[in-house]
Copies of this chain bind each other. A is one copy, B any other.
Amino acid sequence: MFDNKDKTNLNELGEFGLIEYLTKQVELTQKSSVKGIGDDAAVLDFSNYKTLISTDLLLENVHFDLRYVPLKHLGYKAIQVNLSDIYAMNGMASQVTISIGLSSKFPLEAVEEIYEGALIACKKYGVDLIGGDTSASTQGLVISVTSIGYAETDKIAYRSAAKEGDLICVSGDLGGAYVGLQLLEREKQIFLENPNIQPDLEGKDYIVERQLKPEARKDIVELLAALEIQPHAMIDVSDGLASEILHICKASNVGCKLYEEKIPIDPMTYETAREFGLDPTVCALSGGEDYELLFTIPQDDYDKVKGQLDISVIGHITEASAGYQMISKSGNVHDIKAQGWNAFKSEE
């Protein structure tokens, strides 16, 4: 994973030294960031906007496997995963905090790599790192990120606001992150059996990146604003399409009808799923970690989205009594069930 020769031991720096060392490169760019790192709490000014807050906990060997996740990517992904929750409210992310717990097996350079990846994500998305905590861990690596954003009151898209007749839309494509994970898992097994074999990920860049380096869809929030579309309900696809559409339907007390043929799946995702003997649609429905945005819009907005390459209309909202249905490519009706990624099942 990394070579500890010539590396700096964390104990030499101490907690404050580490924080100072890591944060000296942090700059504040957001107008709302009044005070960042360096006091008991950060100070923010959202004046007339609502404040949005979301938090995630990422644990080694549960949410990531350091045998194939580079630390810089991990830092990057930890931020993206969290920003995605702010965009899923149709808001703009403006700040993050990142707390890291790590055992002494990690040298300073390892923490630096996580931070570097996190800061690249912050810079790319225009958010300020305003706080956090760094601590020893007697076990594995622990990362906790809180993201903060803002939105005008009437722009916020709750899960509960889907309406009968709404079109169901999703950004980008689905299933790639899950198939990418299968690929990485396979290469890990091969590597564990014979460490001399180099991973064969040739030509699979897209799906490997979908897993290791997801991008939160800030651009979709901006696109919807530019198209003058106010989404009714919105959620990010972290646990798979099935789980997310059920969240929206249950929170909104509505039903849904999805069309399998409309679910956007990248050709590489499709082919690689097939190589693994997986149904690509199941990967999209239950795979998770795609961090696309799933949202509903009024039917009248159809003309605004139909020419958009990055938005697919995949179904519509029905009355609650119609249930949660998917029409397969062959025309059969299936009930949609949540089989999203379950952190507790990973231990079974």
Chain A interfacial positions (CB closer than 8 Å to B): 10-11, 13-16, 18, 34-35, 38-48, 50-57, 59-63, 84-86, 88-89, 91, 95, 97, 99-101, 103-104, 130-140, 142, 144, 146-149, 151, 153, 156, 158-160, 234-236, 251, 338, 342-348
Contacts and interface: CB of A to CB of B under 8 A. Distances in A.
How many copies of the shown chain assemble into the complex?
A: 2
A63 B142 CA distance: 14
Contact of A57 (B51, B99, B347): B99
B345 A14 contact: yes
A146 B40 contact: no
Instruction: List the 5 shortest-distance A-B pairs measured between CB atoms, nearest first.
Output: A139-B139, A144-B144, A40-B88, A41-B54, A57-B99
A40 B161 CA distance: 13
B40 A85 contact: yes
B53 A97 contact: yes
Nearest to A151: B43
Contact of A101 (B62, B85, B160): B62
Contacts of A156: 43
Given A50-B34, A158-B35, A15 B139 contact: no
Contact of A142 (B10, B59, B338): B59
Contacts of A144: 55, 57, 99, 144
Contact of A45 (B16, B41, B50, B148): B50
